[in-house]
Protein backbone atom coordinates (compact mmCIF):
# COMPACT_ATOMS: atom_id res chain seq x y z
CA UNK A 1 0.00 0.00 0.00
CA UNK A 2 2.78 2.36 1.04
CA UNK A 3 4.80 1.51 -2.02
CA UNK A 4 1.82 1.92 -4.36
CA UNK A 5 1.22 5.41 -2.96
CA UNK A 6 4.90 6.23 -3.52
CA UNK A 7 4.78 5.21 -7.15
CA UNK A 8 1.56 7.06 -7.95
CA UNK A 9 2.41 10.30 -6.13
CA UNK A 10 3.43 12.96 -8.65
CA UNK A 11 6.89 14.25 -7.71
CA UNK A 12 7.76 17.88 -8.45
CA UNK A 13 11.56 17.79 -8.70
CA UNK A 14 11.64 21.61 -8.88
CA UNK A 15 9.58 22.23 -5.73
CA UNK A 16 11.31 23.73 -2.68
CA UNK A 17 10.15 20.75 -0.59
CA UNK A 18 11.79 18.22 -2.92
CA UNK A 19 14.96 20.29 -3.32
CA UNK A 20 15.31 20.75 0.44
CA UNK A 21 15.16 16.97 0.99
CA UNK A 22 17.49 16.45 -1.98
CA UNK A 23 20.10 18.82 -0.49
CA UNK A 24 20.64 16.30 2.33
CA UNK A 25 20.18 12.98 0.52
CA UNK A 26 22.36 14.10 -2.42
CA UNK A 27 25.03 15.28 0.06
CA UNK A 28 24.94 11.91 1.85
CA UNK A 29 25.53 10.12 -1.42
CA UNK A 30 28.36 12.50 -2.47
CA UNK A 31 30.05 12.24 0.94
CA UNK A 32 29.48 8.46 0.98
CA UNK A 33 31.14 8.06 -2.42
CA UNK A 34 34.07 10.26 -1.31
CA UNK A 35 34.57 8.19 1.86
CA UNK A 36 34.22 4.94 -0.12
CA UNK A 37 36.97 6.24 -2.45
CA UNK A 38 39.26 6.85 0.56
CA UNK A 39 38.31 3.56 2.24
CA UNK A 40 39.32 1.52 -0.83
CA UNK A 41 42.67 3.31 -0.96
CA UNK A 42 43.19 2.37 2.72
CA UNK A 43 42.13 -1.23 1.96
CA UNK A 44 44.62 -1.32 -0.94
CA UNK A 45 47.37 -0.54 1.57
CA UNK A 46 46.13 -3.20 4.00
CA UNK A 47 45.79 -5.89 1.27
CA UNK A 48 48.88 -5.67 -0.97
CA UNK A 49 47.84 -8.85 -2.86
CA UNK A 50 44.64 -7.06 -4.01
CA UNK A 51 46.22 -3.61 -4.30
CA UNK A 52 45.52 -2.94 -7.97
CA UNK A 53 41.94 -4.21 -7.87
CA UNK A 54 41.17 -2.06 -4.81
CA UNK A 55 42.66 1.03 -6.45
CA UNK A 56 40.38 0.30 -9.43
CA UNK A 57 37.37 0.22 -7.07
CA UNK A 58 38.49 3.48 -5.41
CA UNK A 59 38.55 5.16 -8.83
CA UNK A 60 35.01 3.95 -9.56
CA UNK A 61 33.89 5.57 -6.30
CA UNK A 62 35.27 8.95 -7.32
CA UNK A 63 33.45 8.66 -10.65
CA UNK A 64 30.25 7.90 -8.73
CA UNK A 65 30.81 11.03 -6.67
CA UNK A 66 31.16 13.15 -9.83
CA UNK A 67 27.96 11.63 -11.23
CA UNK A 68 25.94 12.50 -8.14
CA UNK A 69 27.41 16.02 -8.00
CA UNK A 70 26.04 16.46 -11.53
CA UNK A 71 22.61 15.23 -10.33
CA UNK A 72 22.56 17.97 -7.68
CA UNK A 73 23.61 20.66 -10.16
CA UNK A 74 20.95 19.44 -12.61
CA UNK A 75 18.25 20.17 -10.00
CA UNK A 76 20.00 23.39 -8.89
CA UNK A 77 20.47 21.98 -5.40
CA UNK A 78 23.41 22.80 -3.11
CA UNK A 79 24.34 19.64 -1.17
CA UNK A 80 24.50 20.03 2.62
CA UNK A 81 27.91 18.42 3.01
CA UNK A 82 28.25 19.35 6.67
CA UNK A 83 25.13 17.33 7.45
CA UNK A 84 26.50 14.44 5.40
CA UNK A 85 29.86 14.38 7.18
CA UNK A 86 28.08 14.18 10.53
CA UNK A 87 25.74 11.51 9.10
CA UNK A 88 28.69 9.23 8.25
CA UNK A 89 30.80 10.05 11.32
CA UNK A 90 29.98 6.86 13.27
CA UNK A 91 30.93 4.43 10.50
CA UNK A 92 33.82 6.70 9.48
CA UNK A 93 35.31 6.67 12.99
CA UNK A 94 34.93 2.90 13.33
CA UNK A 95 36.59 2.34 9.93
CA UNK A 96 39.52 4.63 10.84
CA UNK A 97 40.04 2.92 14.20
CA UNK A 98 39.95 -0.54 12.63
CA UNK A 99 42.36 0.51 9.86
CA UNK A 100 44.83 1.95 12.39
CA UNK A 101 44.77 -1.41 14.20
CA UNK A 102 45.21 -3.32 10.93
CA UNK A 103 41.79 -4.99 11.35
CA UNK A 104 41.13 -5.64 7.69
CA UNK A 105 38.11 -7.89 8.39
CA UNK A 106 36.35 -5.07 10.24
CA UNK A 107 37.23 -2.59 7.48
CA UNK A 108 35.81 -4.94 4.85
CA UNK A 109 32.63 -5.52 6.86
CA UNK A 110 32.06 -1.77 7.25
CA UNK A 111 32.83 -0.69 3.65
CA UNK A 112 32.30 -3.68 1.38
CA UNK A 113 29.33 -5.26 3.18
CA UNK A 114 27.45 -2.68 5.25
CA UNK A 115 28.04 0.51 3.25
CA UNK A 116 27.77 -1.23 -0.15
CA UNK A 117 24.50 -2.95 0.87
CA UNK A 118 23.18 0.40 2.13
CA UNK A 119 24.11 1.99 -1.21
CA UNK A 120 22.58 -0.84 -3.25
CA UNK A 121 19.32 -0.67 -1.27
CA UNK A 122 19.12 3.12 -1.53
CA UNK A 123 19.94 3.21 -5.25
CA UNK A 124 17.51 0.37 -6.10
CA UNK A 125 14.69 2.15 -4.26
CA UNK A 126 15.64 5.54 -5.77
CA UNK A 127 15.83 4.49 -9.45
CA UNK A 128 12.04 4.16 -10.08
CA UNK A 129 11.31 7.55 -8.45
CA UNK A 130 14.34 9.54 -9.66
CA UNK A 131 14.31 12.36 -12.23
CA UNK A 132 15.39 11.17 -15.70
CA UNK A 133 18.91 12.57 -15.42
CA UNK A 134 19.59 11.05 -11.99
CA UNK A 135 17.98 7.72 -12.95
CA UNK A 136 20.47 7.14 -15.79
CA UNK A 137 23.42 8.01 -13.54
CA UNK A 138 22.18 5.84 -10.68
CA UNK A 139 21.52 2.83 -12.94
CA UNK A 140 25.16 2.93 -14.05
CA UNK A 141 26.42 3.33 -10.48
CA UNK A 142 24.41 0.54 -8.84
CA UNK A 143 25.82 -2.09 -11.23
CA UNK A 144 29.33 -1.21 -10.01
CA UNK A 145 28.28 -1.30 -6.34
CA UNK A 146 27.42 -4.99 -6.78
CA UNK A 147 31.03 -5.60 -7.86
CA UNK A 148 32.30 -3.83 -4.72
CA UNK A 149 30.06 -5.99 -2.53
CA UNK A 150 31.35 -9.03 -4.43
CA UNK A 151 34.97 -8.16 -3.63
CA UNK A 152 34.20 -8.21 0.10
CA UNK A 153 32.18 -11.42 -0.14
CA UNK A 154 34.90 -13.30 -2.01
CA UNK A 155 37.73 -12.17 0.29
CA UNK A 156 35.77 -12.89 3.48
CA UNK A 157 34.59 -16.28 2.16
CA UNK A 158 38.22 -17.26 1.53
CA UNK A 159 39.18 -16.22 5.07
CA UNK A 160 35.92 -17.20 6.79
CA UNK A 161 37.28 -19.46 9.53
CA UNK A 162 39.77 -16.89 10.86
CA UNK A 163 37.45 -13.93 10.21
CA UNK A 164 34.21 -15.23 11.76
CA UNK A 165 34.66 -13.94 15.33
CA UNK A 166 35.84 -10.49 14.16
CA UNK A 167 32.92 -10.29 11.71
CA UNK A 168 30.44 -11.01 14.49
CA UNK A 169 31.90 -8.30 16.72
CA UNK A 170 32.11 -5.76 13.88
CA UNK A 171 28.50 -6.53 12.89
CA UNK A 172 27.38 -5.96 16.45
CA UNK A 173 29.22 -2.63 16.63
CA UNK A 174 28.19 -1.27 13.24
CA UNK A 175 24.75 -2.58 12.27
CA UNK A 176 22.96 -0.50 14.94
CA UNK A 177 24.64 2.61 13.46
CA UNK A 178 23.01 1.87 10.08
CA UNK A 179 19.54 1.83 11.67
CA UNK A 180 20.22 5.17 13.35
CA UNK A 181 21.32 6.56 9.98
CA UNK A 182 18.14 5.30 8.31
CA UNK A 183 15.96 6.81 11.02
CA UNK A 184 17.67 10.18 10.51
CA UNK A 185 16.79 10.35 6.82
CA UNK A 186 13.39 8.67 6.92
CA UNK A 187 11.53 11.98 6.45
CA UNK A 188 13.70 13.25 3.57
CA UNK A 189 13.58 9.85 1.88
CA UNK A 190 9.76 9.89 2.18
CA UNK A 191 9.63 13.34 0.53
CA UNK A 192 11.52 11.77 -2.39
CA UNK A 193 9.03 8.84 -2.48
CA UNK A 194 11.48 6.35 -0.95
CA UNK A 195 9.82 4.49 1.91
CA UNK A 196 11.83 3.39 4.93
CA UNK A 197 10.20 -0.06 4.96
CA UNK A 198 11.38 -0.68 1.41
CA UNK A 199 14.92 0.53 2.23
CA UNK A 200 15.13 -1.74 5.28
CA UNK A 201 13.77 -4.71 3.33
CA UNK A 202 16.20 -4.29 0.44
CA UNK A 203 19.14 -3.73 2.81
CA UNK A 204 18.35 -6.88 4.82
CA UNK A 205 17.99 -8.97 1.66
CA UNK A 206 21.39 -7.80 0.28
CA UNK A 207 23.16 -8.08 3.64
CA UNK A 208 21.67 -11.48 4.50
CA UNK A 209 22.63 -12.82 1.05
CA UNK A 210 26.16 -11.49 1.49
CA UNK A 211 26.53 -13.15 4.91
CA UNK A 212 25.23 -16.39 3.42
CA UNK A 213 27.70 -16.23 0.51
CA UNK A 214 30.56 -15.70 2.98
CA UNK A 215 29.64 -18.86 4.90
CA UNK A 216 27.26 -17.93 7.73
CA UNK A 217 24.34 -20.30 8.37
CA UNK A 218 20.72 -19.14 8.32
CA UNK A 219 20.72 -19.37 12.10
CA UNK A 220 23.85 -17.13 12.30
CA UNK A 221 22.28 -14.63 9.88
CA UNK A 222 19.12 -14.35 12.02
CA UNK A 223 21.26 -13.70 15.10
CA UNK A 224 23.52 -11.19 13.34
CA UNK A 225 20.57 -9.32 11.81
CA UNK A 226 18.84 -9.00 15.18
CA UNK A 227 21.53 -6.54 16.34
CA UNK A 228 20.08 -3.96 14.02
CA UNK A 229 16.84 -3.94 15.95
CA UNK A 230 18.37 -2.70 19.21
CA UNK A 231 19.40 0.69 17.74
Q: Is 24 in the site for ligand Y39 (CB under 6 A)?
A: no
Q: In this structure, how many other beta carbons lie within 10 angstroms of the beta carbon of residue 30?
A: 22
Smallest separation, CB 75 to ligand Y39 (Å): 16
3-class DSSP assignment, residue 9: coil
Site membership for ligand Y39, residue 113 (CB under 6 A): no
- On whether the CB atoms of residues 139 and 150 are closer than 8 A, the answer is no
Residue 134 sits in the site that holds ligand Y39 (CB under 6 A): no
Span interacting with ligand Y39, options 4-12, 14-22, 26-34, 200-208, rule CB under 6 A: 26-34
Q: Is 148 in the site for Fe ion (CB under 5 A)?
A: yes
Q: Which of 24, 33, 206, 207 binds ligand Y39 (CB under 6 A)?
A: 33
For residue 188, how many C-alpha atoms fall within 13 Å in the half-sphere facing its CB? 20
Cβ atoms 26, 79 nearer than 8 A: yes
Query: Does the protein bind Fe ion through residue 145 (CB under 5 A)?
Result: yes
| Residue with Cβ nearer Fe ion (13 or 169) | 13
Say whether residue 189 binds ligand Y39 (CB under 6 A): yes
Dihedral angle sign, alpha carbons of residues 231, 120, 114, 41: negative
- The option from Fe ion, ligand Y39, none interacting with 152 (CB < 5 to 8 A, set by class) reads none
Nearer to ligand Y39, 86 or 165 (CB): 86
Distance, CA of 210 to CA of 221 (rounded, Å)? 10
Contact flags string 44-63 toward ligand Y39, x per CB under 6 A: -----------------x--
Q: Rounded to whole angstroms, how far apart are CA atoms 206 and 228?
A: 14
Nearest CB to ligand Y39, comparing residues 22 and 216: 22
Q: Which does 118 bind (CB under 5 to 8 A by kind): ligand Y39, Fe ion, none?
A: ligand Y39
Q: At what angle do helices 160-191 and 218-226 cross, to 10 degrees?
A: 50
Which residue number places its CB atom closest to ligand Y39? 32
189 is in the binding site of which of Fe ion, ligand Y39, none (Cβ under 5 to 8 A by kind)?
ligand Y39
Is residue 61 at the binding interface for Fe ion, with CB under 5 A as the rule?
yes
- Please report the DSSP string for 64-119 in residue order: HHHHHHHHHHHTT----HHHHHHHHHHHHHHHHHHHHTT-HHHHHIIIIIIIHHHH
- The contact set with Fe ion (CB under 5 A) reads 5, 33, 36, 61, 64, 145, 148
Amino acid sequence: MQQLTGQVKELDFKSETYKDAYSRINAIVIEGEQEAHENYITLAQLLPESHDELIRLSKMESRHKKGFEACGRNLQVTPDLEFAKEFFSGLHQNFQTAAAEGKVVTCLLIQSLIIECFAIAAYNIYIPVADDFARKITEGVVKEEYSHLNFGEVWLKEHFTEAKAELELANRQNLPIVWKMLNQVEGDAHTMAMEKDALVEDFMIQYGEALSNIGFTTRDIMRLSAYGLIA
